[in-house]
Amino acid sequence: MFRLIKKRLDERGITLVELLAVLILMSFISIFTISLIVQSTETTEAIRVESSLRDEADIIVSRLIKTLYETKEAHIVQNITDNENSYLNMSTSPALCKRDTAGNLILDTACKNTLKPIGFLTSAGKTKLYLINDMYEVANTNISIKNTSRITGDPNKVDSYKITLVLQYKSRNNVLKEIEFINEVQPF
């Protein structure tokens, strides 16, 4: 019987110090794990947003380049760029569009009726891509074409045009990412 009592007295349990040490160690491991999960989630979201922007830019730029390649250079008569718009005016009948002695386009009714835009036009605060007889609007509601997108190049002086496309990704009124894509294209 004394043996039994002696054995019970020798058994040691976990002390308070050991328990606190384990809890502190587990807290550090938990904090590290949680921060790793949060960081990987944020990285995944950033990659998803950038992929969406790049996919949309591929669609927009390829449609714009295709339209410019299919447009004869002689049919591009004017480049219009202001605070919100940047587009090329393409004439279906360039012979109807005359120029004055300084080389400026004379926009009479005959010429105006033949003009079709190729580029970025903004109305009601929304910028869209116009492609002669077609209009492209971004399907993803989080992505928008910024009105700072531009087509630069004077049809009278250059044979190529620089396309600067600026896309923005917004989620719940927070701008998550804005990317600028630059391409150069030469019409046929």
pLDDT in tens, 114-124: 999 999 999 99
- pLDDT tens per residue across span 11-56: 667 888 888 999 999 999 999 999 999 999 999 998 999 999 999 9
Residues 134, 129: Cα–Cα separation, whole Å: 9
End-to-end Cα separation, the chain, in angstroms: 107
- Stretch 164-173: mean pLDDT, rounded? 90
66-72 long-range contacts, CB within 8 A, separation 24+: 67/118, 67/131, 67/132, 68/118, 68/161, 68/185, 68/186, 68/187, 69/185, 69/187, 69/188, 70/188, 71/118, 71/132, 71/187, 71/188, 72/187, 72/188
DSSP classification of residue 132: T
Token code pair at residue 92: 């279906």
Residues 101, 36: Cα–Cα separation, whole Å: 68
**Predicted local confidence at residue 111, as pLDDT:** 92
Beta-sheet pairing, 161-171 with 143-145: antiparallel
The residue ranges of every structural domain in the chain are: 39-185
DSSP classification of residue 155: T
